[in-house]
Amino acid sequence: MPAPERGGAFDLHVLRQDLDVRYEDGSGGGPLEIGRLGVSFYESIAAGARLGIRLGAAGVSQTGRSATAGLDPSGQFLELDFSGAWPHTGPVGLWLGLGWRYTSADAGYANGDTVDLDWQTVVLRPAVELRPTRHLAARLGASVISVDGSERRRGSTNVTTDFRADGDTGAFAALEFLLGGGDVISIRLDGGNPSGAYISFEQRY
């Protein structure tokens, strides 16, 4: 890892992501366009490994889907996260990230009907980590996801439609910059499913 060993950390992060989903009844719709703003809290459990919890606000928009047409459902998310690197010192290592996340969002129609979206995501990210200096780490790896969700419209029409990820693999590249004093900026770009960008501003202590 580029930073010296510390007991814990917290961060502020933002994410913009497109998640391709497939509805179980065969009905169509575009990807879930997801935005998140959250905070994370981490604790070291071993040299180079840590557990964390993330939570915050989430917003969703979607084109081509009748249940959410003209709506921007909003809500919250909660995530449990593990990451570790072996070895955690030296110029090259193997890095692994594993996370479970629950997201929910809802919106209302003018006629009083509501639509609720909620889904669970499990993601696995193995990568090669390069550490050219103690102030920089670069990761290049793959991602595998599993999504289990439901869309529920309630009111004049009561319909529940389950959805899953439409494609479960992708790739990512990430950079982690240690600025000094435990301040870290991390940037990640995702391709495949999902695709998007993530940035965090972290303080390690």
What pLDDT is attached to residue 1?
42
Here the CATH number for the domain that contains residue 57 is: 2.40.128.100
Residue bearing the bigger pLDDT, 4 or 141: 141
Considering only CA atoms, which of 4, 172, 184, 7 is closest in space to residue 88?
4
Residue 1 lies in a domain: no
Is 97 domain-assigned? Answer: yes
Q: 88-119 in b/e burial notation, b at 16+ Cβ within 10 A? A: beeeebebbbebebebbbbbeeeeeeebbbeb
Q: What angle do CA 15, 190, 79 make, to 5 degrees?
A: 50
Q: What digits encode the pLDDT tens for the residues 27-52?
A: 888 899 999 999 999 999 999 999 99
The tens digit of pLDDT for each residue in 131-168 reads 999 899 999 999 999 999 999 999 988 999 999 999 99
Q: Are strands 49-61 and 74-86 parallel, antiparallel or unpaired?
A: antiparallel
Separation CA 202–CA 94 (nearest Å): 22
* Number of structural domains found in the chain: 1
The pTM score is 0.92
Q: What is the pLDDT of residue 6?
A: 58
- The length of the chain is 205
Asked whether residue 3 is assigned to any structural domain, the reply reads: no
Whether 121 is in a domain gets the answer: yes
Residue 106 maps to a domain: yes
Domain with 145, as residue range(s), is 8-204
Q: Are 115 and 100 in contact (CB under 8 A)?
A: no
Q: Is residue 174 part of a domain?
A: yes
Residue 66 lies in a domain: yes
51 with 42: CB under 8 angstroms? yes
Q: pLDDT averaged over the chain? A: 93
Asked whether residue 2 is domain-assigned, the answer is no
